[in-house]
Amino acid sequence: MIDLHIHTIFSDGELIPSEVVSRCREKGYRALALTDHVDSSNLEHVLTNMVRVCGDLTRESGLTVLPGVEITHVPPSMIPALIEESRRLGAVVVVVHGETIVEPVPPGTNRAAIEGNCDILAHPGLISREEVRLAAEKGVSLEITSRGGHSYTNGHVAKLAREEGAPLVFNTDSHAPRDFVTKESAVKILSGAGLTGEEISEIFTRSEEIVRRGVEAWQRRG
């Protein structure tokens, strides 16, 4: 199991990073990214701490724990620059909080995130076909999520991604102990979104590729 969208007490999660890793290990995870909510006010603070703790936890836990961020509710015009700044500060998985139907996310966020070449567009809501096509062209992964509310549009996202050839990933958007899932549960959620066994395998492979790239980027930073 790989999960590339998890929150800690560095934003609105309930757990410190060490407990996140303990609970992920118990669920059978082997890699994860800590992706707390950021904007320009806290980006540097979050990543300064997250890069250090992810290094410590990767060395000691036996899991691959990657430093990341979720750029959240910022004006769309600011998103590309924040993606670039996140990478400069050490984020190796950059998620952007997409236009979920259950929060007042600024219109234009989905497009700005894709154009800015984020790694994952989280819970993109009623994303347009044109935006999905752009994600396919740029290799930006669209998220299928287990999180309540955000998951309401999983079927829509899966359908357009299939038709336009856009990559998908599965994440939990975990904030609390109850949010972590096993791989078996992930398969059921993905099946419920209308995805086939072959497509589900491709989703897990995509997550592995993001982890591999993230590790390589981290190693290059030294």
Structure tokens at 181: 């899932």
**C-alpha count within 13 angstroms, C-beta hemisphere, residue 126:** 4
Phi, psi for residue 46 in degrees, rounded to 5: -60, -50
- Res 129 pLDDT > 80: yes
pLDDT digits (tens, 9 = 90+) for 169-202: 999 999 999 999 999 999 999 999 999 999 999 9
Name the CATH superfamily for 2-221: Metal-dependent hydrolases (3.20.20.140)
* Cα 58–Cα 63–Cα 68 angle in degrees, nearest 5: 65
Q: Within 10 Å of residue 4's Cβ, how many Cβ atoms?
A: 27
For 7-52, write each residue's pLDDT tens digit. Answer: 999 999 999 999 999 999 999 999 999 999 999 999 999 999 999 9
pLDDT digits (tens, 9 = 90+) for 136-178: 999 999 999 999 999 999 999 999 999 999 999 999 999 999 9
pLDDT in tens, 93-118: 999 999 999 999 999 999 999 999 99
d(CA 176, CA 13): 6
Q: What is the pLDDT of residue 60?
A: 94
What secondary structure does DSSP assign to 132-166, as a single string?
HHHHHHHTPEEEEE-STTGGGGHHHHHHHHHHHT-
CA 37 to CA 26: how far, in whole Å?
Answer: 25
* Domain chopping of the chain, boundaries: 2-221
What CA–CA distance (Å, rounded) separates 127 from 142? 10
Reported as a single tens digit per residue, the pLDDT across 204-221 is 999 999 999 999 988 887
Half-sphere exposure at residue 161, Cβ-oriented, CA atoms within 13 angstroms: 30
Q: What is the pLDDT of residue 106?
A: 98
Percent of the chain with pLDDT over 90: 97
Edge-to-edge order in the sheet of strand 64-71: 2-6, 31-38, 64-71, 93-97, 120-122, 141-145, 168-171
- pTM given for the model: 0.98
The pLDDT, as a whole number, for residue 219 is 84
